[in-house]
Structure 1
Amino acid sequence: MGWRKIIPIVILILLLIAVLIPTLAHEAAFPSTPSSQELGEWIGGIIHYWSNLFKMIADTIPSSTTGS
């Protein structure tokens, strides 16, 4: 495996570590007494946050590493 394949993997791992702390501290703060609506908003917020994160990660990987 060459450096061109290793560098995006390292960047991906560092991005995941960098966002894990704010995700757990802010986005994933569980409501103390959740109603059904609050629980749905909580789950939806986490899904939205992580989907945006993975889109950002996919955009940072150069097309030369994806075979396109």
Structure 2
Amino acid sequence: MDDKSEKSPLSEQESESKRPDDARLEKLAHSLREKYADISDEPVPENLKQLIEELREAEKKAQTRH
């Protein structure tokens, strides 16, 4: 039997909804924001601010793809 001719259940799920990794990343991001909300106004090093901004931009791009 040709492996490529059969669709796996995972590939069918991916076509119907978000990729599993995207869902896990969104859940992780939400959990981290909740957990660290109380320290969100603390001083942050400049290089960390840049990384945070890059993450926000990547999240926005990922959301617009779906």
- The reply to whether TM is greater than 0.5 is no
Bin for the TM-score computed over the shorter chain: 0.3 to 0.5
TM-score (norm 1): 0.36
Identify the structure with bigger relative contact order (alpha carbons < 8 Å, sequence gap 6+). Answer: 1
